[in-house]
């Protein structure tokens, strides 16, 4: 019959055996042929990093020089555009690395004359560009004590106002025109429209946009459902596009003069 002291001895022996096995296991692990490092990361580690990442090549390009911008992000965006100082950069190529969890896009552009300028990345531009990120490149302009120019609000307005027009410190209005059937075309398409709107805003103008179906055709042909669908989709795209968020309003009246609607490019005043 086991005694009380025998039971205590057996318990201690079991504990010592367990500790001995643990020591042997740790010592054996120390001599295993395992190389490298083990890195433990928390769930959602990408969300804790600064994304997207923007890299400029060369790092300090001079005004007028061609440069390349690489943008790396953790989402494989589609229909993306990069706007540098108000102008759309030229898309070059795309490199994917899904195993690492990021994708990189490359654009080229001509460095603007100002010492400080903005770079804006947009995505999903096929249905209306959405802003992903906005970064500032360059050194800030020297600080001055001059107060910013306050433009006098007026009702002065021009159709297709020239960017070079002198408004004499007055805030006027301008009207721009775009066509649903030429959404991706030069000048009349949405990208060139966005650039004109941003330039007008920089000149202190308030912009109204007229949206026609096509040149010489203000509204879609009557009783053509497909044409109406194209027109309405384009209106929704313009309304969703964040590059056009400063537009004060849009119109689609049918009483357009045929002469103004059929020009290759409007005369600017």
Each residue's pLDDT tens digit, 96-144:
988 888 999 999 999 999 989 999 999 999 999 999 999 999 877 666 6
> Residue 89: which residues within 8 A CB-CB, separation 6 or more?
69, 81, 82, 83, 107, 108, 109
Residues 219, 224, 226: CA angle, nearest 5 degrees: 95
* 138-156 exposure pattern, b = at least 16 Cβ within 10 A, e = fewer: beeeeeeeeeeeeeeeeee
Asked if residue 38 has pLDDT above 50, the reply is no
Q: How far apart, in whole angstroms, are the C-alpha atoms of residue 159 and residue 174? A: 5
* 144 vs 155, more confident: 155
Asked if residue 252 has pLDDT above 80, the reply is no
DSSP 174: E
What average pLDDT does the chain have? 82
pLDDT at 128: 96
Asked if residue 214 has pLDDT above 80, the reply is yes
Residues 228-257, mean pLDDT to the nearest whole number:
86
Q: Which of 33-37, 184-188, 240-244 has the lowest mean pLDDT?
A: 33-37
Q: Which domains does the chain have, with CATH numbers?
A: 45-138 (2.60.40.10), 152-261 (no CATH)
pLDDT at 171: 84
Q: What is the pTM of this model?
A: 0.72
């Amino acid at each position: 019959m086991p005694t009380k002291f025998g039971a205590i001895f057996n318990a201690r022996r079991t504990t010592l055996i367990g500790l001995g096995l643990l020591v042997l296991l740790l010592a054996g692990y120390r001599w295993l042929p395992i190389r490298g490092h083990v890195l433990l990361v928390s769930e959602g580690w990408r969300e804790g990093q600064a994304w997207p990442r923007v890299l400029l090549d060369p790092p300090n390009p001079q005004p007028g020089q061609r440069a390349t911008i690489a943008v790396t992000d953790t989402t494989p965006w589609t229909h993306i555009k990069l706007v540098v100082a108000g102008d759309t950069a030229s898309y070059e190529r795309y490199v994917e690395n899904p195993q690492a969890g990021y994708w990189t896009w490359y654009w080229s552009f001509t460095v603007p004359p100002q010492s400080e300028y903005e770079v804006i990345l947009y995505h999903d531009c096929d249905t209306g560009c959405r802003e992903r990120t906005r970064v500032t490149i360059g050194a800030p302009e020297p600080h001055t004590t001059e107060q910013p120019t306050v433009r006098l609000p007026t009702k002065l307005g021009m159709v297709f106002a020239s960017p070079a027009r002198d408004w004499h410190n007055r805030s006027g209005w301008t009207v721009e025109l775009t066509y649903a059937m030429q959404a991706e075309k030069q000048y009349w398409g949405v990208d060139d429209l966005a650039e004109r709107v941003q330039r007008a805003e920089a000149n202190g103008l308030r912009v109204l946009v007229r949206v026609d179906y096509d040149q010489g055709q203000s509204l879609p042909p009557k009783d053509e459902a497909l044409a109406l669908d194209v027109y309405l989709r384009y209106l929704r795209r313009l309304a969703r596009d964040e590059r056009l968020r400063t537009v004060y309003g849009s119109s689609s009246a049918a009483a357009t003069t045929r002469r103004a609607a059929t020009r290759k490019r409007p005369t600017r005043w």
